[in-house]
Structure 1
Amino acid sequence: MTGVELTAGGAALALVIGIVTSGIGGAIGGVATGGKAIGNQLAAMMGSFYGPVGGVAGIIVGLILLALIG
């Protein structure tokens, strides 16, 4: 089976896109869960800091698996 190879540029692009989207998702999740209690701006800021914590680890594991498979 012929597949597309994962290049360093593609991996870096995927990592950057993943970090940005996990930060956006964290901000949305922070506003949804703690917006009323601590205010929307603070909840969004905290969510955007803590959102990528789990996201980046998953992205790195996924990129490693893609590199091993491809």
Structure 2
Amino acid sequence: MDKYLEQQIKKNFGMKVRVMREQNELSQEALALMCGLDRTYIGGVERGERNISLINIHKIAIALGVSPTELFQ
């Protein structure tokens, strides 16, 4: 896969996480605690710096009260 496309996928996913987190009025720290992840990890996901695992996608979706699928739309 093209590196540019990979980066766009990660950035789009991260933007969706940020929007949903803000809609739920959660800080990065609060979301991280709910997921059992580090706050800096959540920040990296939101900035598109992380190639996040399926397990962590699932954890974030549960914490946001959505299905994992919704994070990709």
Task: Name the TM-score class by shorter chain.
Answer: 0.3 to 0.5
User: If the length of structure 2 is used for normalisation, what is the TM-score?
Assistant: 0.40
Which structure carries more helix by proportion?
A: 1
Larger Rg: 1
User: If the length of structure 1 is used for normalisation, what is the TM-score?
Assistant: 0.41
